[in-house]
Chain A
Amino acid sequence: GQNIDQPTEMTATEGAIVQINCTYQTSGFNGLFWYQQHAGEAPTFLSYNVLDGLEEKGRFSSFLSRSKGYSYLLLKELQMKDSASYLCAVRDGAQAGTALIFGKGTTLSVSS
């Protein structure tokens, strides 16, 4: 089966660092994506990993271990505007299409 797990909620303080974990079990694997979604808005693309290792982009970094079926999103120097839901998504690669399989999202609340 296909399963993507991530924590439901996390809280953090402005200026801190937070790590959001994601584990996945899919038939195939052709890349892992992280999206940010503010309440009532569309998901916006944050990062993409297809090979093992760390991808850094400004305050955001994403890590992938394919052998462990594991990824994390690291957010540094947290700001209030980072309060949002963070969606982990996998492109299965074993299906006819190339649609993403999403986790339920992690709601991050940043307080001052």
Chain B
Amino acid sequence: EAEVAQSPRYKITEKSQAVAFWCDPISGHATLYWYRQILGQGPELLVQFQDESVVDDSQLPKDRFSAERLKGVDSTLKIQPAELGDSAMYLCASSLDRKETQYFGPGTRLLVL
């Protein structure tokens, strides 16, 4: 069964450092989402891509976060500089198209010290 791949699974960093997360969606899925989930909360959208284009990045803290999906396949989310409040689970999800069911990857758990 096809799955969304993410790496790394865990990341510990110090504040002010740069971190990057990678996501490889299910093959053929045009839509890719990055969500952030704080412990005890539901996931919240950071950015949505349709192929290589950004559809919605209204909730992305653009002063420190950036995301790209250059070839419309895999995607990278970067934080620079990391802050203590960025500690969370970063989830990538993909769907065949915008209105199809979203399938989540295993997530990257980030701890900022």
Contacts and interface: CB of A to CB of B under 8 A. Distances in A.
Interface stretch (A42-50, A51-59, A66-74, A75-83): A42-50
Contacts of B40: 104-105
A105 B45 contact: no
B55 A43 contact: no
Interface in B30-48: 31, 33, 35, 40-45, 48
B21 interface: no
A43 B101 contact: no
Q: Is the interface of A mostly helix, strand, loop or mixed?
A: loop
Interface stretch (B12-20, B69-77, B80-88, B102-110): B102-110
Contacts of A99: 33, 35, 45, 48, 56
**B-side interface size class:** 20 to 34
22 contacts: A4-B42, A30-B99, A33-B101, A42-B104, A42-B105, A42-B106, A42-B107, A43-B91, A45-B103, A91-B99, A96-B55, A96-B56, A96-B58, A97-B48, A98-B99, A99-B33, A99-B35, A99-B45, A100-B45, A102-B43, A102-B44, A105-B40
